[in-house]
Amino acid sequence: MLSPVETRAGASHMLRLLAWAFTRPSTMLRMTHWMWFIFPQIAGLGLSSTSKYYAIKDMDEAVAYLAHPELGARLVEISNALLLLPGNDAHQVFGSPDDMKLQSSMTLFAQLDGAPQVFRQVLDKYFDGEPDKQTLQLVGK
Mean pLDDT of 61-72: 93
Q: What is the mean pLDDT of the segment spanning 72-96? A: 88
The per-residue pLDDT for range 26-36, each reduced to its tens digit, is: 554 554 566 77
pLDDT for 55 equals 92
How many Cβ atoms are within 10 Å of 51's Cβ, its own excluded?
17
The CATH classification number of 4-138 equals 1.25.40.380
Separation between Cα atoms, residue 32 and residue 130, nearest integer Å: 26
Q: How many residues does the chain have?
A: 141
